[in-house]
Amino acid sequence: MSRILSAIHMGKLFYFALAALLARGALAANAVDEEKPHGRFCLSLYEPGPPEKEEAFQISAPAGAGKTVRAYIDASDKCSVLVAALTKDGKLVNAWRPQLSEVPAEFEEILLPKTPVKWDWSTASGPFDLYVLFLASGSKEIEEAKKLIDAMQNPKIDDRILAMQTGKLKELIGRLASDKDRTNQAPVSEPEVGGVFRGAAFPWRQFARSVNFSADRPGVLVLSSDSVK
């Protein structure tokens, strides 16, 4: 019984933190100090072709065979980034495995998820929230997140174990996002329609969202279906 009550409490805390994040971030979505450490993020929808096609991802994007979702990320300073997408009932979106990766300094981009993982969009998902957390190098949460996310990468893992791990991931994100005094937070609105790019490098920085981070203040971005009108 105590475990059930604890799970209910953590679930309430998680979604309270999300609601508070969106409310606060809506007032300061673009308040990024570029003189301080900050990270940038853009989600795209990719089709292998031929010809290859790529565009800024929208939650309302139609699903299709072969379509995958990709995350472009860079940062002014070396850090780590955690990216995870969760449905409203706390499950992984389309079984997308969460990702944790180092991000080089000087805006050297990385692309997630790492091979061989793919974020499939052949089937659309119900309402979900995608979280992007920039953690300064040396942050105590990095090691905890690494152990958990590494354990979740096995595609043959038992569904019950994966569900428990996803619950722990949700708790970790909730802890990081719930303390407004320790985080820099902003919602990610759906991008303006920018067209489909065929056979050319996707200019992701045109659609990127940014957030500051520091040693004691993680940067948190959230793309939520709740913010889509």
pLDDT in the model for residue 97: 98
Residue from 169, 207, 215 nearest 72 by CA: 207
DSSP letter at 66 equals T
pLDDT in the model for residue 24: 44
- 53 vs 180 pLDDT, higher one: 53
Average pLDDT over residues 49-71: 91
Identify which of 86-90, 183-187, 224-228 has the greatest average pLDDT. 86-90
- The predicted model scores a pTM of 0.83
Average pLDDT over residues 23-29: 42
pLDDT in the model for residue 176: 85
How far apart, in whole angstroms, are the C-alpha atoms of residue 55 and residue 67? 11
pLDDT in the model for residue 57: 93
Above pLDDT 70, what percent of the chain?
76
Distance of CA 52 to the CA centre of its chain: 24
pLDDT in the model for residue 183: 64
Q: Is the pLDDT of residue 7 over 50?
A: no
